[in-house]
Structure 1
Amino acid sequence: MEIRHSTNPFDAKRYDTAQLRQHYLIEKLFESDRVHMVYTHEDRMIVGGAQPVKEALTLEAPEMLRTEYFLERREVGFVNIGGEAVVTADGERHELQKLDTLYVGKGVRNLKLESKDASRPAKLYFCSALAHAPYPTRKAPIQEANTQYLGSQATSNERELNQIVHEGGIHSCQLMMGITVLKPGSVWNTMPSHVHDRRMEAYLYFDLNEGARVFHMMGEPDETRHLVVANEQAIISPPWSIHSGVGTSNYAFVWSMAGENYTFKDMDVVPPAGLK
């Protein structure tokens, strides 16, 4: 497991492109029959990806967690972005179609990840946050999400924002997750931008073709930077940073949050005129 330490906005102003990518971009999450994890000190979130093909994968506790099992003091949310997946949690089997979400709460000891068809392997993206109490394991297809229809063709940001793990959906301790899907012809996400200083966020961009890219905007509103992101790469967004993006085509992304507050209303909107 890779470890990323927290950064502050004063240092980030001085980062060159390589340093920005080193701190905030996760370039590789999916590799055949491997589990990749990144532990960020931004609210102690773990961002990971698993691509089981020929064999089942077990989500085990890395040495640095100093726990007997992965969810001893954590909760986790999985989103499948590939072929049909099977996640078995303490013997309970859950089949996930593309864009299905599975939440697994604190205390579950055994997590096994599989693909139903090796020729169309699953790609299980997961985010894990610290948890103080157990919540029940629960699956939700995207059709059961609280869906908000945002933006318009005129502003190139027509999109569906699907809230899945949140106070009005699947309950958790602090983890919040959802999926945003942009309509064809729309390329902007989360514009107008905002910050929420009491929780971090992670983005996984996906459903981009090979040659397409997303320019992810970050930084303080008056000191913005950008990262060029390819398909199935993720961004760590610290609490002090905006998190917005524009693509060379439409795309989708999984957003995940962890931190002190558990409400979507805790944000400070930054209009485009306030960005520099």
Structure 2
Amino acid sequence: MDIRHATHPSDAKRYDTAELRAHYLIEKLFEADRVRMTYTHEDRMVIGGAQPVKETLVLEAADTLKTEYFLERREVGFVNIGGEAEIAVDGERYTLERLDTLYVGKGVRDVRLASKDAADPAKLYFCSALAHAQIPTRKVSIKEANTLHLGSLETSNERDLNQIIHADGVQSCQLMLGITQLNTGSVWNTMPSHLHDRRMEAYLYFDLTDDARVFHMMGQPEETRHLVVANEQAVISPSWSIHSGTGTRNYSFIWAMAGENYTFKDMDVVPMDRLK
């Protein structure tokens, strides 16, 4: 379990490139037959990746959590971005095609992750937040999401925003999660940018070719910085930071939020003339 401490914006604006990447970028999430996890003190989210190939992997509570099992006081959302996956939740099996989501709630003791075909292994990205109540497990395909068609080709941000775990969709305690897919020819996400001081956010960028990159914008509006992000890398975005990006081509990303407020539209839009 990698540990990332919360940071103050006054400190972050003095970070060089290496320090920004060390604090906010998760460079490697998927490794054959291993579960990798990062614990961020930003709203206590756990961000992880699992790539079962020949082995069945178990979601275990690292010593960091100080609990008997991973979901003793947590909830988790899995999104499969690889080959067909099978997740066993206290013995009940769920099959996940590519871009299917599985929400698993507090109190589940045993979660096991496997691939249907070792030649085309699953890649299970997951985000976990603290939970106060038990909510039933639920599987959703991207076709069942609440899809918002946003932007335009003229502004290079034509995209589909798929809301999956949210107040009007799959229920949770505080976790919100969805998938945004940019159309061919569009490269900008979340611009004009915004802040939501009551919750943090994590981005996983994917569907990028090996030579493509996303320039993820972060920082306070008057003190912006950027991270250069490759395929299947994730960014931790503190509540005080904007979170926008532009790519060398179109891409997709999974966004997940945790924090005090459970209202998706609770955000403070940043006017373009405020950005520096």
TM-score by length of 2: 1.00
Q: Which amino acid in structure 2 is aligned with residue 250 of structure 1?
A: N
The corresponding residue for 2:169 is 169
The corresponding residue for 1:90 is 90
Q: Tell me how far 1:44 sits from its aligned partner.
A: 0.1
The corresponding residue for 2:200 is 200
Hey, what's the Cα distance between the residues in 1 that align with 2:102 and 2:232?
A: 19
Q: Which amino acid in structure 2 is aligned with residue 161 of structure 1?
A: L
Q: Output one character per residue of 1:189-240: Cα deviation in whole Å (capped at 9) or x when no partner.
A: 0011000001000000000000000000000001000000000000000000
Q: Tell me how far 1:244 sits from its aligned partner.
A: 0.3
Q: Which amino acid in structure 2 is aligned with residue 58 of structure 1?
A: V
The corresponding residue for 1:107 is 107
Note if 1:217 corresponds to 2:217: yes
The corresponding residue for 1:72 is 72
Q: Secondary structure of 1:227's match?
A: strand
The corresponding residue for 1:235 is 235
Describe how 1:10-89 pairs up with structure 2 within 5 A.
Answer: 10-89=10-89
Q: Which amino acid in structure 2 is aligned with residue 243 of structure 1?
A: H
Hey, what's the Cα distance between the residues in 1 that align with 2:86 and 2:151?
A: 35
Describe how 1:105-144 pairs up with structure 2 within 5 A.
Answer: 105-144=105-144
- CA RMSD in angstroms comes to 0.4
Hey, what's the Cα distance between the residues in 2 that align with 1:207 and 1:271?
A: 29
Which runs of 5 or more residues in structure 1 are unaligned? none
Q: Tell me how far 1:271 sits from its aligned partner.
A: 2.2
Q: Which amino acid in structure 2 is aligned with residue 46 of structure 1?
A: V
TM-score by length of 1: 1.00
Task: Figure out how many residues of one structure are paired with residues of the other and give that number.
Answer: 276
The structure 1 segments of at least 4 consecutive aligned residues displaced by more than 2 Å after TM superposition are: none
Q: Tell me how far 1:274 sits from its aligned partner.
A: 1.6
Hey, what's the Cα distance between the residues in 1 that align with 2:16 and 2:169?
A: 40
Q: Which amino acid in structure 1 is aligned with residue 156 of structure 2?
A: S
Note if 1:250 corresponds to 2:250: yes
Q: Which amino acid in structure 1 is aligned with residue 96 of structure 2?
A: L
Q: Secondary structure of 1:22's match?
A: helix
Hey, what's the Cα distance between the residues in 2 that align with 1:223 and 1:264?
A: 25
The corresponding residue for 1:179 is 179
Which stretch shifts more, 44-53 or 58-67?
58-67
Q: Output one character per residue of 1:139-185: Cα deviation in whole Å (capped at 9) or x when no partner.
A: 00000001001100000000000000000000000000000000000
The corresponding residue for 2:264 is 264
Q: Secondary structure of 1:11's match?
A: helix
Q: Secondary structure of 1:71's match?
A: helix
Q: Secondary structure of 1:273's match?
A: helix
